Structure 1
Amino acid sequence: MENVTVAEAPVPRVGVVVFLLRGETVLLGRRRSSIGASTFALPGGHLEFGESFEECAARELKEETDLDLDEIEFVTVTNNLFLDEPKPSHYVTIFMRAGLKDPDQVPQTVEPDKCDGWGWYEWDNLPEPLFWPLEKMVRSGFNPFPNSN
């Protein structure tokens, strides 16, 4: 077996993303990062040491969009391997659901190096291509809206 130091060994990371709902729409942005570049994805990012899922979701959403969350809740978790990427990675992704504290607030593109912009999309008319973990959920029949089938 090859000698690999602890610092070099790949480890899973934890991502937290948010289904931010407004009426019958969900907020998506076009990714500019190395993993999933040019695909549409939910806002979110890495869980920091000591953070709750709710705290991470609120912080990441504020950092990326300048929006404030209301009524945040856990939805599901997925285990994602990105083996075909230039730098293979493994993410455990926590999916949260929330609404806007102020429904009139408009998302800002705070990190243009990571996202080309934000838009509200109807669940039955999502843009393409979707970031593959989200696409997999959509294909499975998942619906983030409460009280849907």
Structure 2
Amino acid sequence: MNTADRASVARRNVQPPRAQASLGAGVVVTDEAGRVLLGLHRSGVWELPGGQVEPGESVEDAAVRELAEETALVADAADVEVIGLILDSVTSTLMTRLTAATVVRAFRGVPAVAEPDKIERWEWTEPDRLPEALFLPSAQVLRMWRPELGLPDGPYHRYAMGRLPVSPSGPGRA
């Protein structure tokens, strides 16, 4: 390889590609009675806690952060399970939404409205009594969690995750 070729390789991919997708985490959290936590958005639809995964953040860390930011509930990333991915090109024609469906297995605290400009209130809801006015990406996360729920289907692509063995030093480490 000549010097010009090496210089070309060194400059390759230094800028991020044009954004074509948005990665978020939808968070299913249940109480001891098995009810799921839903927030009434100021727009009138119900939704799960969740939001975008920030650069350098794991999906589990994003789920924990979003849960705390939105509900004041505290969880540990080790108590978050990614149960699937949902690829959605329905809710936006400009961007593909990729949502990691997550379940929080343990948390501390009592739900509180931490973002009153977005959420009016949080309620524990029986899974078989979900409101009709449900944010579609939240409905898809709930459908990934409990496929038997009578939730709307759509042209979404769902990818269920299997549990992988984790080495003592953590995932992906030798």
Give the TM bin, normalised by the shorter chain: 0.7 to 0.9
8 Å contact from structure 2 (residues 28, 103) kept in 1: yes
**Bigger proportion of residues as helix:** 2
Deviation at residue 21 of structure 1 after TM alignment = 1.3
Match of 1:25 among 12, 21, 35: 35
8 Å contact from structure 2 (residues 86, 141) kept in 1: no
After superposition, the Cα gap between the structure-2 partners of 1:126 and 1:44, relative to the gap in structure 1 and judged at 3 Å, is same
Distance in 1 of aligned mates of 2:142 and 2:85: 14
Deviation at residue 116 of structure 1 after TM alignment = 1.5
Deviation at residue 30 of structure 1 after TM alignment = 1.7
Deviation at residue 138 of structure 1 after TM alignment = 5.4
- Whether 2:46 is the aligned partner of 1:45: answer no
Deviation at residue 136 of structure 1 after TM alignment = 4.4
Aligned-pair identity (%)? 35
- Whether 2:81 is the aligned partner of 1:73: answer yes
The answer for the alignment partner of 1:63 in structure 2 is: 69
After superposition, the Cα gap between the structure-2 partners of 1:63 and 1:143, relative to the gap in structure 1 and judged at 3 Å, is farther
Distance in 2 of aligned mates of 1:50 and 1:143: 35
- The letter of the residue matching 2:59 is F
8 Å contact from structure 1 (residues 25, 122) kept in 2: yes
The answer for the alignment partner of 1:120 in structure 2 is: 124
Between the two structures, name the one with larger relative contact order (CA 8 Å, sep ≥ 6): 1
Distance in 1 of aligned mates of 2:24 and 2:31: 22
Distance in 2 of aligned mates of 1:107 and 1:68: 10
The answer for the alignment partner of 1:12 in structure 2 is: 21
User: Number of matched residues?
Assistant: 129
The answer for the alignment partner of 2:170 in structure 1 is: none
Report the TM-score when normalising by structure 2: 0.64
Secondary structure of 2:66's aligned partner: helix
Distance in 2 of aligned mates of 1:137 and 1:15: 11
Distance in 2 of aligned mates of 1:50 and 1:10: 16
Deviation at residue 97 of structure 1 after TM alignment = 0.3
Deviation at residue 139 of structure 1 after TM alignment = 6.4
After superposition, the CA RMSD in angstroms is 2.6
Secondary structure of 1:15's aligned partner: strand
